[in-house]
Amino acid sequence: MSESDTSVSSSLNFKTRLLHSGKAPAYTGGTAVNPPIVRASTVLFADTAQQREMRGLRSHERVFSYGARGTPTAFALEDAVSELEGAHRTRLLPTGLAAIGMALLSYLKPGDHVLVTDSAYQPVRHLAQQFLRPYGIEYTFFAADGSDAEAKMRPNTRMLYAECPGSLVYEMCDLPALAAMAHARGALVVVDSTWGSGVQYRPLALGADVSIMAATKYLSGHSDVMMGTVATTRDAWEPLAERCDAFGMTVSPDDAWLVLRGLRSLSARLRMHEEHALQVAHWLEAHPAVRTVFCPALPAHPGHALWRRDCEGTNGLVSFELAPGTAPETVDRLIDGLQLFGLGASWGGYESLVTSAHMTQARSVTDWSARGPVVRLHIGLEDPRDLIADLDQAFGCLD
């Protein structure tokens, strides 16, 4: 029976009819607002000629040929992310870290050298130690603002890996200048753009070749799904596509559908996150216990001018530094005193979160040893007046 048949012969036995009926999505009427969830491992073809044709096409075209190569639900999300990023095409990975790892694996080989920003998502350091070093790929960290990147380029540098704004304290770098410098030396530019979510910062438009996002965060927006995305220019696409296919990288269609749902409200949510975060940031700036507030939208932030030039707003992330010498127990007491902030390491959902940032472990080029402890907040969609009141009472516990 071919996949195009919509009826099952009544001459077949009941058990056979039970297995072969109800497969055709036949209905009349309009179209659903959101694409349906298509779950599939095996994909059936009408005949051997179609099977050969689809298998021949899938090396260079996106066709529904096997679950590990993606489903229509995943394809719909890929298209949405490509539109968001201004990309040629996009691949979906199980987590944000998996997306980073696949990008490194796709473009680097033993003997290559990669420059990595000092402000990278901290697990990237572990990935470099556990994967790059044992496989003969050299790496060097450069200053988060990019000021020493050119001096650290080598003849075998094949990639410059940036994150802008940086993790934890949101350093800005001049990405167009870094991209021009790296391209002039034959290096690819890969950027973790989770902070900007394709709305507030678009690396491909600023000269990058590859943009990575943790869809776990703002794209999903509800803290209930894990996923990463890798979007590329046309010239950078093939190595990524080939490596993802070789490793069977795919995502659950249910997860893809959840992220698609989250994307619909992304712009509206980010506006609320920004509005609320700026109110909290300004309050923190005036608090006597706070030494520094980290948010690139604040005029006092060292990268504020670059933020104004390259970004379209800010998000819910705000970090603050306490006085040098503040005891770890004091930081714990402050965090544990908060009632509306969940204690969690991720961010990008609708809820407010808090965690401590261990900057001496997260940076190796910039010396944080003489500075105070840093606390990171993710400001959610709660009323900012309630969040400020919660912070105020938690600070009061330190007196």
Q: What is the pLDDT of residue 25?
A: 67
Tens of pLDDT along 223-260?
Answer: 999 999 999 999 999 999 999 999 999 999 999 999 99
Which CATH number is associated with domain 266-396? 3.90.1150.10
Within 10 angstroms of residue 142's Cβ, the number of other Cβ atoms is 24
pLDDT at 30 over 90: no
- For residue 188, the SS3 value is strand
pLDDT band at 35 (very low <50, low <70, confident <90, very high): confident
pLDDT at 107 over 70: yes
Stronger pLDDT, 397 or 180, i.e. the higher one: 180
Which CATH number is associated with domain 70-264? 3.40.640.10
Q: What is the pLDDT of residue 116?
A: 98
Give me the amino acid identity at 260.
L
Burial of 22 by CB count in 10 Å (0-12 exposed, 13-18 middle, 19+ buried)?
exposed
pLDDT at 193 over 50: yes
- For residue 76, the SS3 value is helix
Q: What is the pLDDT of residue 3?
A: 42
pLDDT band at 1 (very low <50, low <70, confident <90, very high): very low
Average pLDDT over residues 309-321: 98
Look over the chain and give the mean of its residue pLDDT values, rounded to a whole number. 93
Residue closest to 120 by CA, chosen among 166, 159, 165, 189: 166
70-264 and 266-396, same CATH topology: no
Q: What is the pLDDT of residue 2?
A: 45
Find out whether 387 and 280 touch, Cβ atoms under 8 Å: yes
Q: What is the pLDDT of residue 6?
A: 52
Q: Where are the alpha helices (DSSP H) in 58-173?
A: 72-85, 96-107, 123-127, 149-152
Q: What is the pTM of this model?
A: 0.92
pLDDT at 26 over 50: yes
Average pLDDT over residues 368-379: 97
pLDDT band at 18 (very low <50, low <70, confident <90, very high): low
pLDDT at 4 over 60: no
What residue segments make up the domains of the chain, in order of their start? 70-264, 266-396
CA distance to 93, 207, 321, 339, 362, per residue, from 191 (Å): 16, 10, 26, 35, 18
Stronger pLDDT, 16 or 327, i.e. the higher one: 327
pLDDT at 147 over 90: yes
Tens of pLDDT along 60-93?
Answer: 888 888 878 889 999 999 999 999 999 999 999 9
pLDDT band at 136 (very low <50, low <70, confident <90, very high): very high
